[in-house]
Structure 1
Amino acid sequence: MRVLSSLFALALFATASAVPARQSSHRAVLESRHHLPAGWTKRGGLNKRGEVPVRINLRQNNLERSEELLMDVSDPESPNYGKHYTAKQVADLFAPSKESVETVKGWLREASVASHRVKYNHGQGSVTLNMTVAELEELLHAEYDIYEHDTGALHVACESYSVPATVKHHVDFITPTLHFNVPLSKRDENAHSGASKAALIGQPGHSAVQPHQGAAVESIFTDLRNCSKQTTLDCLRALYKIDYEPVVKDKNSYGIVEYTPQAYVPSDLDLFFKNFSRGTIGYRPKLVSFDGGVVQNNQTGFDFNVESNLDLQYAIGLVHPAPVTLYQVGDLVEGASFNNFLDGIDSSYCGGDDPNLDGIYPDPSNATGSYKGPEDCGTAKPTYVISISYSINEAETTPAYEERQCNEYMKLGMQGVTVFYSSGDHGVAGRRGYCIDPVTGAFSPNGTRFTPSFPSTCPWVTSVGATQINPNSTVFDPEGACEQFIYSGGGFSDVFPMPEYQKTAVAKYFKDYNPPYTAKQYNNSQMTRGFPDISANGANYVTAIDGNFSLVYGTSASSPVAGSIFTLINDARLALGLRPIGFINPVLYKNAWALNDITMGGNQGCGTPGFTAVPGWDPVTGLGTPNFEKLRDLFLTLLFSA
Structure 2
Amino acid sequence: MRVSSVFAVLEAASAVVAGPVARSTYSVKGSHPVPRGWRQLDRAPADHTLELRLGLTQGDFAGLAKHLFEASDPQHRKYGQHLSAEAVHDFVRPAKEASDAVHEWLFANGILPKDIAYTPAKDWLKVILPVGKVEELLDTTYHVYVSDDGRSAVRTPEWSLPLHLHHYVSTIQPTNSFFGPRAQARMDKRKAEALMDTKNIAEYIPPRPNATTIDAVCNTTWVTPLCLRTLYGVADYTPQSTDKNTVAMNNFLGEVSIRSDTALYLQNFRPEALGAENEYPVISINGGTTNTVLNQTELKALTGIEGNLDDQTLIGVAWPTPLEIYSTGGEPPFTPDMTTPKNTNEPYLVWLDYLLSLPDPLPSVISTSYDDDEQTVPKDYAVQVCNALAQLGARGVSVLFASGDTGVGGAGECYTNDGRNASTFLPNFPSSCPYVTSVGGTYKFNPEVPVFRNRSTGLYTAGGGVSYYFSTPAYQVESLMTYFEKTGVVEKYAGLFDPNGRAYPDLSGQSLNFTIFYNGTLRPVSGTSASTPAVSGILALVNDALIAAGKPTLGFLNPWLYSGGYKAFNDVTTGSNYGCNTEGFPAVEGYDIATGWGTPNFKQILALRGVEVDGVNEVWEHWE
**Would the TM-score normalized by the shorter structure come out above 0.5?**
yes
Conserved 8 A contact 2:252-2:327: yes
Conserved 8 A contact 1:208-1:393: no
Structure 1's 442 and 337: CA in aligned 2 closer, same or farther, altered over 3 A? farther
Q: Which residue of 2 aligns with 1:555?
A: 528
Match of 2:379 among 367, 374, 399: 399
| 2:325 paired with 1:326 | yes
Q: Which residue of 2 aligns with 1:423?
A: 403
Q: Which residue of 2 aligns with 1:63?
A: 61
> Aligned partners of 2:128, 2:274: CA distance in 1, in Å?
54
Conserved 8 A contact 1:344-1:379: no
Conserved 8 A contact 1:214-1:551: no
Residue type at the aligned position of 2:451: C
Residue type at the aligned position of 2:363: T
| 2:252 paired with 1:259 | yes
| 2:283 paired with 1:289 | yes
Match of 1:245 among 238, 241, 244: 238
Residue type at the aligned position of 1:90: V
Shift of 1:598: 0.7
Conserved 8 A contact 1:538-1:555: yes
Residue type at the aligned position of 1:396: T
> Aligned partners of 1:131, 1:266: CA distance in 2, in Å?
38
> Aligned partners of 2:292, 2:330: CA distance in 1, in Å?
9
Deviations 1:598-632 (A, max 9, x none): 11111111222221111221111011111111111
Deviations 1:518-538 (A, max 9, x none): 45422x2x2211110000011
Match of 2:450 among 478, 481, 502: 481
Equivalent positions of 1:348-497 (< 5 A) are 378=358, 382-429=362-409, 435-438=413-416, 441=419, 448-469=423-444, 475=445, 477-484=446-453, 485-497=459-471
Structure 1's 544 and 114: CA in aligned 2 closer, same or farther, altered over 3 A? closer
Conserved 8 A contact 1:465-1:555: yes
How large is the RMSD of aligned CA atoms in angstroms?
3.6
Deviations 1:40-77 (A, max 9, x none): 34867x99999988654211110233321211211111
Deviations 1:382-405 (A, max 9, x none): 311111111122122212222111
> Aligned partners of 1:542, 1:65: CA distance in 2, in Å?
45
Q: Which residue of 1 aligns with 2:487?
A: 513
Shift of 1:125: 2.9
Q: Which residue of 1 aligns with 2:302?
A: 303
Structure 1's 540 and 494: CA in aligned 2 closer, same or farther, altered over 3 A? same
Q: Which residue of 2 aligns with 1:339?
A: 349
Residue type at the aligned position of 2:374: E
Q: Which residue of 2 aligns with 1:532?
A: 505
TM-score (norm 1): 0.76
> Aligned partners of 1:82, 1:272: CA distance in 2, in Å?
36
Structure 1's 483 and 154: CA in aligned 2 closer, same or farther, altered over 3 A? closer
> Aligned partners of 1:133, 1:483: CA distance in 2, in Å?
46
Match of 1:587 among 556, 560, 563: 560
Q: Report the secondary structure of 1:427's partner residue.
A: coil
Residue type at the aligned position of 2:496: Q
Q: Report the secondary structure of 2:486's partner residue.
A: helix
Conserved 8 A contact 2:109-2:137: no
Q: How many residues align?
A: 545
Q: Report the secondary structure of 1:610's partner residue.
A: strand
> Aligned partners of 2:311, 2:147: CA distance in 1, in Å?
39
| 2:54 paired with 1:81 | no
Residue type at the aligned position of 1:286: Y
Q: Which residue of 1 aligns with 2:339?
A: none
Shift of 1:408: 1.2
Conserved 8 A contact 2:55-2:172: yes
> Aligned partners of 2:75, 2:515: CA distance in 1, in Å?
41
Conserved 8 A contact 1:465-1:621: yes
Deviations 1:437-467 (A, max 9, x none): 3376599xxx842221111111111100000
Residue type at the aligned position of 1:538: S
Q: Which residue of 2 aligns with 1:598?
A: 572
Conserved 8 A contact 2:483-2:592: yes
Shift of 1:590: 0.9
Q: Report the secondary structure of 1:386's partner residue.
A: strand
Structure 1's 148 and 561: CA in aligned 2 closer, same or farther, altered over 3 A? closer
Deviations 1:497-528 (A, max 9, x none): 22111111111111221315445422x2x221
Q: Which residue of 2 aligns with 1:220?
A: 205
Match of 1:615 among 585, 589, 594: 589
Match of 2:226 among 231, 234, 237: 234
The farther-off stretch of 507-516 and 556-565 is 507-516
> Aligned partners of 2:420, 2:299: CA distance in 1, in Å?
33
Residue type at the aligned position of 1:238: T
Structure 1's 148 and 535: CA in aligned 2 closer, same or farther, altered over 3 A? closer
Conserved 8 A contact 2:223-2:515: yes
> Aligned partners of 2:377, 2:56: CA distance in 1, in Å?
19
Residue type at the aligned position of 2:63: R
> Aligned partners of 2:220, 2:394: CA distance in 1, in Å?
39
Equivalent positions of 1:115-134 (< 5 A) are 123=120, 124-126=122-124
Shift of 1:135: 8.6
Q: Which residue of 2 aligns with 1:568?
A: 541
Shift of 1:570: 0.7
TM-score (norm 2): 0.78
Structure 1's 271 and 456: CA in aligned 2 closer, same or farther, altered over 3 A? same
Conserved 8 A contact 1:489-1:532: yes
Deviations 1:237-267 (A, max 9, x none): 2322223111222221111222253223333
Q: Report the secondary structure of 2:304's partner residue.
A: helix
> Aligned partners of 2:50, 2:319: CA distance in 1, in Å?
50
Structure 1's 245 and 521: CA in aligned 2 closer, same or farther, altered over 3 A? same
Structure 1's 318 and 442: CA in aligned 2 closer, same or farther, altered over 3 A? farther
Q: Report the secondary structure of 1:550's partner residue.
A: strand
> Aligned partners of 2:577, 2:432: CA distance in 1, in Å?
16
Structure 1's 86 and 510: CA in aligned 2 closer, same or farther, altered over 3 A? same
> Aligned partners of 1:513, 1:602: CA distance in 2, in Å?
12
> Aligned partners of 1:508, 1:175: CA distance in 2, in Å?
39
Q: Report the secondary structure of 1:543's partner residue.
A: strand
Structure 1's 269 and 133: CA in aligned 2 closer, same or farther, altered over 3 A? closer
Deviations 1:374-428 (A, max 9, x none): xxxx499631111111112212221222211111110111111111111111111
> Aligned partners of 2:98, 2:329: CA distance in 1, in Å?
33
Conserved 8 A contact 2:140-2:156: yes
Shift of 1:487: 0.6
> Aligned partners of 2:597, 2:583: CA distance in 1, in Å?
20
Q: Report the secondary structure of 2:441's partner residue.
A: strand
Structure 1's 50 and 427: CA in aligned 2 closer, same or farther, altered over 3 A? closer
The farther-off stretch of 626-635 and 328-337 is 328-337
Conserved 8 A contact 1:213-1:553: yes
Q: Report the secondary structure of 1:466's partner residue.
A: strand
> Aligned partners of 1:317, 1:57: CA distance in 2, in Å?
39
Query: Percent identity between the aligned chains?
Result: 31
> Aligned partners of 2:600, 2:412: CA distance in 1, in Å?
30
Shift of 1:219: 1.4
Could you tell me which runs of 5 or more consecutive residues in structure 1 were left unpaired when the two chains were aligned: 1-22, 182-196, 202-206, 348-377, 470-474
Shift of 1:321: 1.8
Structure 1's 250 and 541: CA in aligned 2 closer, same or farther, altered over 3 A? same
Deviations 1:266-289 (A, max 9, x none): 332232222221111222241132
Q: Which residue of 1 aligns with 2:141?
A: 144
Q: Which residue of 1 aligns with 2:622?
A: none
Residue type at the aligned position of 2:427: P
